[in-house]
Chains A and B, each alone.
Chain A
């Protein structure tokens, strides 16, 4: 079994952020994945989606589902991340005030993605965009 899913994450409508993650969650549930695995995928992808909407004007999400591994590739054409190491630190945030008023921008997004995934690779170029590839493995639980 291999399932490929593709989503466009619109950048102009904050209310729609999370639609793709919600759809993936539903698909994984229908496929019978374990709840803890589904939750890890859902949270990591949702954080990534929110990041793309806040910082990059949206982007695209490609998800590959295998029986033992879920891979999520998030691609945007935003400003890029100047210092990835700094961005990975808990509490570091460049989110504007209006985003904080919406309940986000605590600087926990990237650390949280790292926490819930087995691998996380970030390729970023200033002025060009960011590609984030994350995997969640289904291990014996």
Chain B
């Protein structure tokens, strides 16, 4: 699926980013950036309820292309500026983490290998 599909499936609002036709195959959901850095491989979408600039930094270091903030969380102006600089699409969805992950999984995204 594409980032545009993720947006539709999650009834999400586009916060920033222009390229929505990028293909994505994997996702991970976490509020713990330490774990994302330690356990995640080749994931392209990060779902998180955590709101600070290090969420965008972490996604950037991992070459992720899209961050979805769950539970209606709004990224700060600083996060938006950083995401634009690093070419990362930001979305926000009113859905909770479990539901958002479940819907993406149901629609074909996978979570990568087990630890």
Give B contacts to A, CB under 8 Å.
31-35, 37-38, 50, 52-55, 57-58, 60-63, 78, 86
Contact = CB atoms under 8 A, between A and B. Distances in A.
A102 B61 contact: no
A47 B37 contact: yes
Interface of A: 14-15, 17-18, 21-22, 25, 35, 39, 42-43, 46-47, 50, 102-109, 111-112, 115
Q: Is the interface of A mostly helix, strand, loop or mixed?
A: helix
B61 A103 contact: no
B50 A103 contact: yes
A18 B57 contact: yes
Contacts of A42: 60-61
A92 B6 CA distance: 36
Contacts of B62: 39, 43
A43 B53 CA distance: 16
